[in-house]
Amino acid sequence: MSTNKDEAKQSLPKQIAITAILLAICIASQFLKNLSVYITGPIINLCLVLAVMMAGLPWGLILAVVTPVTAFFIAANPVMQMVPGILPLIMGGNAVLVLLTALFVKPSVLKKKPYLNVNSIIGAVVSSLVKGLFMGLTISLWLLPTFIPAESPLSANMGVFQFTFSVTQFITALIGFVLFFALWPVLRKVVKKG
């Protein structure tokens, strides 16, 4: 995971500013969580990808860890409140997306023309799929069935929760990448000017 020359040239204040703006966008989107996870999820995933692309892998990892914590305080769903052990696993799913973006998507986007190419698309799909699988295996198949007792009122919605923390994660990550590919031509120019 070597750093890109442009990333090495970026100043620390610029990386902090980019990450802070992306975190602010994530926090603002979390207030919309009650409307739909298909609004908040893609925005969070977009910001994770942009953090890697614009500020670098360490900053993407910071965002991957911080956003579940802010979500817990802003719009925690009943599952997060009943099973707080879910937070590290959500952080892990975000970190998987960030790491795979740095490994597979970033090199394809920055080194190949056009930036939207077979490698960048495959990288986006694989990154999204592995995030969904990671969260599906750890949260949906292990954590929730283990820590939500059968007598809990939440157990009636177990199928919904399991879908949300697996398939929905894959879909929202994919939508986040679609947004990234749509916005990258403009954002790339803005970053180069700064």
176 within a domain of the structure (yes/no): yes
Nearest by Cα to 177 from 71, 68, 98, 64 = 98
Mean pLDDT for all residues in the chain: 91
C-beta of residue 166 within 8 angstroms of C-beta of residue 136: yes
Q: What is the mean pLDDT of residues 91-111?
A: 96
Whole-angstrom distance, CA of residue 83 vs CA of residue 15: 34
2 within a domain of the structure (yes/no): no
pLDDT tens digits along 114-166: 999 999 999 999 999 999 999 999 999 999 999 988 888 888 889 999 999 99
Question: Structure pTM?
Answer: 0.91
Q: What is the mean pLDDT of residues 105-120?
A: 92
5 within a domain of the structure (yes/no): no
Other Cβ atoms closer than 10 A to 111: 12
Lowest mean pLDDT among 19-23, 36-40, 97-101, 154-158: 154-158
Written as one letter, the residue type at 78 is P
- Total count of domains within the chain: 1
1 within a domain of the structure (yes/no): no
Domain of 187, CATH number, reads: 1.10.1760.20
69 within a domain of the structure (yes/no): yes
Domain range for residue 55? 11-193
pLDDT tens digits along 2-17: 445 555 556 899 999 9
130 within a domain of the structure (yes/no): yes
